């Protein structure tokens, strides 16, 4: 990353669910949140994937919430016995968990209108740590919630996305990095040395190098990120000159 | 999870790369490793995604390697300046990093045969912490390596997979859980209460409930896992009876 930013806003994520650790489910929420935060200028520093395990959830959330501006969680707030995130978040903050005074009538009305029984399992989705703020769910009504800097959201990708978009206005964004992508038909082994020299020269840019392998040959995508257009242009210009030089070798 | 297993073998993974935290890349190695370990009877307890940051890699690896039988890493062992995993692993173990006596001539010969220059960038891929064992790479030759219980592998998915398969024979597998999947056309809110009662009764099974939402209505996949066929069958039978009862309501 380029030099530290006075307006730096940082975040971590905890993705919760046995199914993510058994290979049953390919997570899609991490990449979605990562792209969303990138656009907001919020730096996602760390993601942890943990099982539906009370102690593991508490340990991850308590470790991360003191180190980053925001922590976002996915998963474990549904109606079944293996949805234990709400109680773990309560325990992490040493807060009682109870039916939320807004969420409970909201869900009660929702199921009444649909002529569905408001079962204890569905009532479970109205529970939050006491004092939590709700996170709207325009897909299936049952809300997420926020305690201090921890945003607790659903694991179903469509609902996770809806919840992220509903909290968007209240998140403080940081400075957004400018970026440029350069596709390069050479493998990393070919351009590694001159690119390292350019990265060393342009300390106010961050230069990432991402190999691609089509099963036969390598190419590279180079990503330059910087806080100013001048810094970005200078690094990109040096990289393009280097690539022209490679072609002439 | 069902009661602790005397033959329990545990693991954690560290996926390394700025691109995973910026949303640029959807990780595919985590789900692959998770499914692979599940088949081997190795329990994946935790995954951390960290940036290409020296201290972050060291902290994650040192935290996890003392708590689990195995730690697997992906990413950051290529030829470019932003590939810093090898040095971070060396620092985590307080080992010098140097050209590996087998890896260096292996790569030297490889590039010579292909009439490609063995540049310093390519030589970088022959560096490991001193004393590391190599992990074969049948895709692109440049090896991964193992230090004690930490397996350091590439981030490119085809190469990551090849490295995982090459270490497979040396990993100690644990007891493999039996499992059964039951597709259920009811949403979790409908079956949540009776399913919780069944889960409470069948303490020697682990019953997971996974909601699906097609944009219109919910269904549920129920996954039962157990160490014995009797335990599995008993839980599955009670779930099927419950579902028949639901249909008659």
Given B46, B195, B200, which is nearest A50 (Cβ)? B46
pLDDT for residue B232 is more than 60: yes
Kindly determine whether residue B193 and residue A139, on different chains, have CB atoms separated by under 8 Å. Answer: no
CA distance A195 to chain B (A): 7
C-alpha of B202 from chain center? 28
pLDDT band with cut points at 50, 70 and 90 for residue A5: low
CA distance B159 to chain A (A): 9
- Domain B178-247, CATH 3.10.50.30 — does that match? no
What pLDDT, on the 0 to 100 scale, is given for residue B1? 47
pLDDT band with cut points at 50, 70 and 90 for residue A7: confident
- Domain A9-170, CATH 1.10.1030.10 — does that match? no
**In whole angstroms, what is the distance from residue A174 CA to residue A239 CA?**
28
Q: Mean pLDDT of all residues in chain A? A: 94
* Domain residue ranges of chain A, discontinuous segments joined by +: 9-170, 178-247
Collect all residues of chain A within an 8 Å Cβ-Cβ radius of residue B20: 30-31, 34, 47
pLDDT for residue A17 is more than 90: yes
**In whole angstroms, what is the distance from residue B237 CA to residue B244 CA?**
11
In this prediction, residues A102-131 reach a mean pLDDT of: 96
Collect all residues of chain B within an 8 Å Cβ-Cβ radius of residue A37: 23
CA-to-CA separations, B230 to A172, B88, B178, B204, B233, in angstroms, rounded: 54, 47, 10, 10, 5
Given B48, B208, B215, which is nearest A18 (Cβ)? B208
What pLDDT, on the 0 to 100 scale, is given for residue A74? 98
pLDDT for residue B83 is more than 80: yes
DSSP assignment letter at B143 = -
- The proportion of chain A whose per-residue pLDDT surpasses 90, expressed as a percent, equals 88
Kindly determine whether residue A124 and residue B192, on different chains, have CB atoms separated by under 8 Å. Answer: yes
Beta carbons within 10 angstroms of residue A176's beta carbon: 12
Helices (H), chain A: 18-21, 29-40, 54-65, 85-92, 103-113, 120-124, 157-167, 188-201, 229-247
Kindly determine whether residue A79 and residue B120, on different chains, have CB atoms separated by under 8 Å. Answer: no
Per-residue tokens: B153 = 């592998």
pLDDT band with cut points at 50, 70 and 90 for residue B3: very low
Provide the angle, in degrees to the nearest 10, between the axes of the packed helices B85-92 and B54-65: 50
In this prediction, residues A181-205 reach a mean pLDDT of: 94
pLDDT for residue B56 is more than 90: yes
Given A1, A21, A139, which is nearest B45 (Cβ)? A21
In this prediction, residues B95-103 reach a mean pLDDT of: 98
pTM passes above 0.90: yes
Q: Which of A21, A27, A178 to mutate to test binding with chain B, by most B CBs within 10 Å of its CB?
A: A21
The strand pair at B9-16 and B218-226 is best described as unpaired
Q: Which of B19, B22, B176 to mutate to test binding with chain A, by most A CBs within 10 Å of its CB?
A: B22
CA-to-CA separations, A135 to A20, A57, A141, B16, B77, in angstroms, rounded: 24, 20, 10, 31, 40
Given B23, B139, B192, which is nearest A31 (Cβ)? B23
CA distance A34 to chain B (A): 4
SS3 A46: strand
pLDDT band with cut points at 50, 70 and 90 for residue B174: confident
In this prediction, residues A149-173 reach a mean pLDDT of: 96
What pLDDT, on the 0 to 100 scale, is given for residue A15? 98
**In whole angstroms, what is the distance from residue B6 CA to residue A156 CA?**
34
In this prediction, residues B67-75 reach a mean pLDDT of: 98
pLDDT for residue A1 is more than 60: no
The model's pLDDT over B182-225, given as tens digits with 9 standing for 90+, comes to 999 999 999 999 999 999 999 999 999 998 878 778 899 999 99
Given A44, A79, A192, which is nearest B189 (Cβ)? A79
In this prediction, residues A161-170 reach a mean pLDDT of: 97
Residue partners of B178: CB distance under 8 A and separation at least 6: B225, B226, B227, B228, B229, B232
Q: Which range has the worst mean pLDDT, A143-147, A210-214, B106-110?
A: A210-214
Per-residue tokens: A182 = 């350069």
CA of B47: which chain A residue's CA is closest?
A49
What pLDDT, on the 0 to 100 scale, is given for residue A200? 96
User: What ipTM did this prediction achieve?
Assistant: 0.93
pLDDT for residue A119 is more than 70: yes
pLDDT band with cut points at 50, 70 and 90 for residue B6: low
What pLDDT, on the 0 to 100 scale, is given for residue A3? 45
Burial class (CB in 10 A: 0-12, 13-18, 19+), A212: middle
CB pairs under 8 A between A and B: 208
The model's pLDDT over B107-160, given as tens digits with 9 standing for 90+, comes to 999 999 999 999 999 999 999 999 999 999 999 899 999 999 999 999 999 999
Collect all residues of chain B within an 8 Å Cβ-Cβ radius of residue A215: 158
């Amino acid at each position: 990353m380029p030099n530290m930013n006075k307006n730096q806003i940082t975040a971590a994520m905890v993705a919760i669910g046995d199914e993510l650790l058994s290979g049953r489910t390919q997570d899609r929420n991490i990449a979605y949140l990562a792209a969303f935060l990138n656009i907001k200028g919020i730096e996602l520093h760390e993601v942890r994937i943990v099982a539906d395990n009370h102690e593991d959830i508490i340990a991850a959330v308590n470790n991360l919430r003191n180190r980053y501006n925001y922590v976002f969680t996915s998963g474990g707030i549904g109606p079944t016995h293996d949805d234990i995130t709400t109680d773990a978040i309560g325990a992490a903050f040493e807060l009682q968990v109870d039916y939320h005074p807004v969420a409970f009538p909201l869900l009660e009305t929702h199921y009444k209108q649909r002529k569905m029984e408001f079962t204890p399992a569905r009532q479970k989705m109205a529970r939050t740590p006491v004092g939590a703020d709700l996170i709207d769910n325009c897909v299936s009504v049952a809300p997420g919630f926020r305690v201090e800097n921890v945003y607790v959201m659903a694991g179903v990708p469509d609902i996770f996305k809806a919840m992220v978009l509903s909290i968007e206005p209240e998140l403080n964004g940081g400075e957004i990095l400018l970026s440029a992508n350069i596709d390069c038909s050479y493998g990393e082994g070919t351009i590694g040395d001159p690119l390292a020299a350019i990265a060393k020269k342009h300390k106010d840019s961050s230069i990432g190098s991402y190999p691609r392998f089509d099963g036969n040959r390598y190419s590279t995508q180079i990503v330059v990120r910087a806080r100013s257009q001048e810094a970005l242009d200078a690094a990109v210009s040096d990289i393009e000159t280097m690539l022209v030089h490679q072609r002439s070798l």
